[in-house]
Amino acid sequence: MLAARYITTDKLVPWLLSLSESRLVLAPIRKGGQTVFQPLEADSELDLDGLATSSPKAALLPRCETLLEFHYSKGEEAPSRTSVEVRETLHDQPTFLFGARPCDVRGFTVFDRVYDAGSKRDIYYCTRRDNTLVASLACTDPAETCFCHRVGGGPGDSTGADLLFTFIGDGYVVEAVTDRGNDFLLSQTLHDAGDRVETALKTREAVKAAMPEGEPLLGAPEQVNKLFDDQPFWEDVSAKCLSCGACSYLCPTCYCFNMTDEMHGNDGVRVRTWDNCMSFQFTLEGSGHNPRAAKAQRMRNRIGHKFNYYPALHDGNLACVGCGRCISHCPVSMDVREIVSKAQTRAMAEEEQIND
């Protein structure tokens, strides 16, 4: 049986601040009009009301990560010969990620299958993942744009987390999900949860039951696949898109990156930055040719990756966790649910025509 503890609302921030003495504590913090994951400090305004604006993916996959630093120097005897020194820059600071939502944390498992896959282990990602204890917070008030329950998750899902917090009115029940979460919880002087665990479970079930019904989007891969060559379909669903990329930068599962060397004089860094399939440069080849030059082709890539190519490679797991950020922060209010549902309907209609 894994440990369960309890902490009252007024003790939460002092406890998190005490944790921050020995590790980096990342939490959803109100900054201007938005909520972003940042290191918690004494004067930070913790915001646990809803989903943060940007997902916590930067904790594991920073927007810009220095992979290595290099320095060129000229040989003293033969100035025409330059040598280069290279220094690796691994980030292994112990981190406590607090207040991520179940969808966001499930998103980490989407990364794990790619960046921690047997021989294809990305040391930058894995080092951060190994050093980060993930504490998620069950949702008690899902937004209109949330649809975790239609893509295999739920407002109280603990997939990918080490600890699960549930708010039950006057405080939080904290349940261990993994062994390392358990060890961590046992090392903390928090109250024993007792029968509050039961209340937490009931709270999570009630929230899930109250989510509006909607067709599961899990059967989508074959249907989206069928529409690959259906140009009018992709043109129709992408007509209002601005190709801006806000959707994929805010998405907790988008993991494509770009790599560039940035030089200043003889010093330089090799950086890995987020890339984004909605941008023209995404697959722009050195020749000048771009296989995804049109907006409709880029939209097909984004939807295809999440609902077709990824699940085809990873046991049917979708690369969408239903957080709804791409809906609520799209400048023209595109709705990914609508696109996938349309794809399902269209593919089924085409099938019926063939059968007729």
Q: Residues in the site for ligand SF4, rule: CB under 6 A?
A: 241-247, 250-253, 278, 306, 320-326, 330-332, 334, 336
Which residues are CB-neighbours of 213 under 8 A, at least 6 positions away? none
For 234, the token pair is 């992709």
Q: Which does 328 bind (CB under 5 to 8 A by kind): ligand SF4, other proteins, none?
A: other proteins
SS3 state at 228: coil
Would you give the binding string for other proteins spanning residues 138-167, x where CB under 8 A is met? -----xxx----------------------
Residue with tokens 């993930």: 134
Binding part of the chain for other proteins, among 67-75, 112-120, 226-234, 325-333 by CB under 8 A, reads 325-333
C-alpha pair distances (Å), 37 with each of 190, 249, 294: 24, 14, 34
The two structure tokens encoding residue 319: 């690369």
Q: Which residue has the tokens 């209002």?
A: 240
Residue 333 within binding range of other proteins, rule CB under 8 A: yes
Nearer to ligand SF4, 29 or 323 (CB): 323
239 binds other proteins, rule: CB under 8 A = yes
Cβ proximity to other proteins: between 178 and 243 the closer is 243
Residue 36: contacted member of ligand SF4, other proteins, none (CB under 5 to 8 Å, by partner type): other proteins
Q: What is the identity of the amino acid at 162?
A: D
Residues binding other proteins: number (CB under 8 A) = 43
d(CA 148, CA 211): 10
Instruction: Please identify which residue in the block is written with the tokens 């940042």.
Output: 38
Asked if residue 54 binds other proteins (CB under 8 A), the reply is yes
**What's the closest the beta carbon of residue 191 comes to ligand SF4, in angstroms?**
35
Contact between 46 and 20 (Cβ < 8 Å): no
CA distance 238 to 249: 18
131 or 258, CB closer to ligand SF4?
258
Task: Count CB atoms within 10 A of the CB of residue 267.
Answer: 11
Sites of contact with other proteins (CB under 8 A): 31-34, 36, 53-54, 62-64, 143-145, 239-240, 242-246, 249-250, 258, 260, 262, 269, 271, 273-274, 276, 279-281, 327-329, 331-335, 337-338
